Structure 1
């Protein structure tokens, strides 16, 4: 055979294989390359001809085989086009059109089918998961380790939430995704020694941003985290052995054939792609039908200002009246209602609330054997028979939802508990909020009665200590770029009390350092379909009318979000749309007044906006702003202040 002809055939085959090993986004800007180096599967990510992830490892280690090395990539790559639309009222965008390129890379080991790595690449987003095949007669396995890695380019900086060590913190309830973020830090660290909680944000020098998380986690796997290594490498980590008081396995089990959850990566030259991504919901499907049409509502809760001692019948009746006066649909009755109010009186409150158009959410402790949290009701959510009996009682008196607290673990057994609570609650038409808990991973679409999760240093910390109040603005500029980008966040904020105490008594308890306009702005910045705001009945008399009136009207569900400007830990400016109405909100944490211009392309020139703004002393006022021909608006926000505009 002619030598040149042989070389030509080789080159044709080589370029054909490599072309199949590159997956492009529909707009062609995002390229994912998948290949094998010395038997190890790897991938890399380029966006707009800039490297966002260097060659990063893929693969799994299981008790039926090591599928992270000694692999061969099959030449035939199955590629598909994904084009789907869906509607979801309780996320950042109500109508989603998801288009992506899908590629299924099949790997063999010693001539036998081992794993598939399934990639989905959409504009600014990519995701991958594994499909594991039976090995001879074996039809189940334990995934002992994921080799999945994310190698950031040299010079990348990190915006991460270190995960707590297990069985630490209040009543040994950690980890619960409630540690402070480290901002603009260097790579090569591993948090407090236990890795980092999802989602994880990175700045790739001047190239742009990378957000790493996961979605589709249910009872079929554990929740994961990132483990930091040297030289910018982060890998998937499983729960620590000590979580849940040492109960349950750290390594997930799957059937064969079986699949893992999706690992998601969002990239972009600005933070717009991070803020606006819907990838956590694009990749999942509902796990069951809704038993009813669930309502996403606003409400109040006494505990944030009045604490445990005021979980009493008279106070909760007062809050029902308060919610009714605000036009809200619910109240949340927090811990200790079982002993300080009692079931008969809860039924009486539910009946009274129904007459006022106000439903009840009830607090429950999740724990059976995994932490020491003493608050009741205890021991009702961890046992199916007892739980369903409790939920039948709730349905009989018209309870709208539950808030289940103190989980403290990410093991597969705990994921099963989350799913079981949600599925049982749906049978009885009950919505579910989780606190002291893990991150929601696509749950808004997977579970139709899921309302929100905490998984953040939330408003209770503002009551517990002045330091949290001092840092409130800084934290508010972090969450829209990290935690709240991937799922509903039950923060429970927007306080209008000047002091965190029962009656807003001056110089008693921690002092709010932010403005009233700030409280209104965070009601827009923090997304959750169900909100219980940290308002109090006295605010009807001691807060500005313009502030109370805005809190009466602010939506909890949105149709669209747009990033305008900001930087994590410094300031944030976002726009959210409800119908034809836009809400533009911003807060400033820097120790200087923020002066900038934003372009409001969604509005026409001549549009008159209501505007709530602060002076340098954080005195708020209501006024108007008219959109000019160039649609640019000058923004001025003092330290700890805010701005809010609506058309």
Structure 2
């Protein structure tokens, strides 16, 4: 079939179904027999066998040589008054091959992407003649599937259970994050990623988070979810994984302060989120993958010149009460101006400012050419956290009025905190905030929230999401310092793969629980971790006392990249990342182990000759050492125990 350029609209297909404009009859089938067919990637090297046995749907993933990657697993949906998990018959199917789709991201690890995939649609009927469509997209580096329900006799679907499984019969290792137990602050995807045996049960009763990374059969397999893009709950993996079989799980009933149902109720027609599975042979391919965004709907056509990623100073981390004080905020605004960082964040309780007003702060910042972000409580009954402002974003009319005011004030962005659930209503609140913020030219950063789910493509004003155990935990996490070095070497291969991550890196001050990582390790995280809005959370005097060459490295540093590469890496042990913006490469490496090591890098792949301006830990174990190093075929860089380095290469014009 000829290659074609497809501009995919998530919302178009259900409408075509509704008006009968999609022809499923291009491949007639004999519905009296069990069904068995093979799906393939454009390069034919990835295969899926899809079949019906005794009315139940199954799939199996393998290479073109028959090597099993994911073993036979169930598919299907069970809903109230409509069961699509048994007694299914295939009605019809169609396919399109070598679909090409281009996309641009404003924030992220790379800006220009092209996807090629084969798409398959299978229409099934249950014993009541109710219809369900199963959609697959086959990429060269993985696949995705979702369930779509055309309009029919049912007005809505109350989904009870999803039977989708991921089966790893050959064992292996996995890097997983236990799903949070409900609390005043959770779930918020803030447990620590660790290495587990495939098939090991979760230490929490709520299961495993997405994204989940598996090393099975000499391949890396990353499972996550793209969506929801319409009212539906987000899902994760169940706590038990007997013999390597992982099933899907709903949000816990206790989430969101016990409000709302765990299972979604959706009006027809609708589609579930995509279940995305990235499959790569090496870690560099994994780092560069972006399937969650590729599956998302394209944004509306609109002006986006106001959407500008960048670094921000942030006062709350080292001075919790500073949002209430104009005078305490001034040095952070001055820091952003000196470092050519475009933003500053004013965190919780800014409405209680004692020695001025937020309007005065904005005016002061604007004179310094620094944009202001303001913090909000997501509010509603789903959280009981008292920090303010609250009860301004959960009601549509009040929210739009507030956003109109912020736009008139000249505020650049909002940080919205304490969602604490993946239930349907909370997912809808995320999307409503993004849409209204886009209408009022406000950038968005979500905290206490779910993971990135492709929304940054559909709503390019979404700069970052927390969903990580970050620097603030040095205040209250007794075990955090000893876990952080290894976790920092896992996050780039797991959580940060699916989207921007607001870890708030490069903090040198020791809080209640001191760092074990070195200064160079902490500095390197500003490049290792990708976030469209990158918050630099230490005190102004700490950054101002850095060596001049280090300050020059941080000055004007980008937070959105044209290109990203993994130069070296071993999950949980160490890694070296290279990210390019224009003609400048930033290279950073970290050591997650408690002994020194040397890494050998071929920097010639980034620039033909020249010099890397390198910053490492000082041999005296105090402070930082900066020096120019001539680029050679193999550059040897020494890393201290829990150490790191960061450097910059300016390519010749």
User: Which TM-score applies when normalising by structure 2?
Assistant: 0.89
Alpha-carbon separation, structure 2, partners of 1:209 and 1:540 = 38
Partner of 2:441: 429
- Find 2:330's aligned residue among 308, 317, 326: 317
- The residue number in structure 1 matching 2:219 is 208
1:563 maps to: 566
* Structure 1 residues 117 and 557: alpha-carbon distance in aligned structure 2, compared to 1, 3 A threshold: same
Task: Tell me, yes or no, if structure 1 residue 623 matches structure 2 residue 627.
Answer: yes
Question: 5 Å matches for 1:237-636?
Answer: 237-286=249-298, 288-290=300-302, 292-293=304-305, 294-308=307-321, 311-341=324-354, 345-465=357-477, 467-497=479-509, 499-500=510-511, 509-600=512-603, 602-614=605-617, 618-619=621-622, 620-628=624-632, 631-636=633-638
Per the TM alignment, residue 413 of structure 1 is displaced from its structure 2 partner at its CA by 0.4
Cα deviation, residue 241, structure 1: 1.2
> Are the counterparts in 2 of residues 291 and 426 from structure 1 also a CA contact under 8 Å?
no
1:143 matched residue in structure 2 = 159
**Does the 8 Å CA contact 2:322/2:328 hold for their aligned counterparts?**
no
The gaps in structure 2 that reach 5 residues or longer are: 1-28
Separation of aligned partners in 2, 1:429 and 1:310: 23
The question of whether the paired residues in 2 share the 8 Å contact of 1:47 and 1:268 is answered with no
> Which among 37, 42, 50 is matched to residue 34 of structure 1?
50
1:59 offset after TM fit, Å? 0.7
Q: CA deviation at 1:341?
A: 4.4
1:61 paired with 2:115, answer no
**1:365-414 residue CA offsets vs partner (Å, 9 max, x unmatched):** 11221222111112111122222222222122111111111111111100
Matches within 5 A, 1:121-160: 121-135=138-152, 137-160=153-176
Cα deviation, residue 295, structure 1: 1.4
Q: Report how far residue 540 of structure 1 moved.
A: 4.5
CA distance in 2, matches of 1:79, 1:636: 51
CA contact (8 A) 1:523 1:554 kept: no
Is the CA contact 2:82–2:130 (under 8 Å) kept in the aligned structure 1?
A: no
Structure 1 CA distance for aligned equivalents of residues 390 and 607 of structure 2: 55
- Which residue matches 2:14? none
Which residue pairs with 1:43 in the alignment? 59
TM-score by length of 1: 0.90
In 1: Cα distance, 2:63 partner to 2:521 partner: 36
Deviation at 1:196, TM superposition (A): 1.2
Displacement after TM superposition at 1:162 (Å)? 0.8
Checking the alignment, whether the CA contact within 8 Å between 2:104 and 2:112 is kept in structure 1 is yes
For residues 160-191 of structure 1, give each alpha carbon's deviation from its aligned partner in whole angstroms, at most 9, with x where no partner exists.
Answer: 1111122x1xxx13111111223133414134
Structure 1: where are the runs of 5+ without partners?
1-12, 501-508
- In 2, the alpha carbon distance for the partners of 1:32 and 1:618 equals 53
Residue 218 (structure 1) aligns with: 229
Hey, what's the Cα distance between the residues in 2 that align with 1:621 and 1:488? 30
The CA RMSD measured in Å over matched residues stands at: 2.3
Q: Aligned residue pairs: how many?
A: 615
Q: Secondary structure at the match of 2:481?
A: helix
Q: Distance in 2 between matches of 1:383 and 1:146?
A: 31
Structure 1 residues 89 and 541, CA gap change in structure 2 (3 angstroms): closer
Shift of 1:519: 2.5
2:7 counterpart residue number? none
Q: CA deviation at 1:541?
A: 4.1
CA contact (8 A) 1:618 1:641 kept: no
CA distance in 2, matches of 1:360, 1:76: 52
- Distance in 2 between the 1:408 and 1:362 partners? 20
Whether the 8 Å contact between 2:500 and 2:530 is mirrored in structure 1 is yes
CA positional deviation for 1:80: 3.5
Answer whether contact 1:565 1:572 (CA < 8 A) is retained.
yes
Alpha-carbon distance, 1:210 to partner: 0.8
> Does the 8 A contact of 1:469 with 1:510 survive in 2?
yes
1:90 CA drift (Å): 0.5
After superposition, the Cα gap between the structure-2 partners of 1:553 and 1:134, relative to the gap in structure 1 and judged at 3 Å, is closer
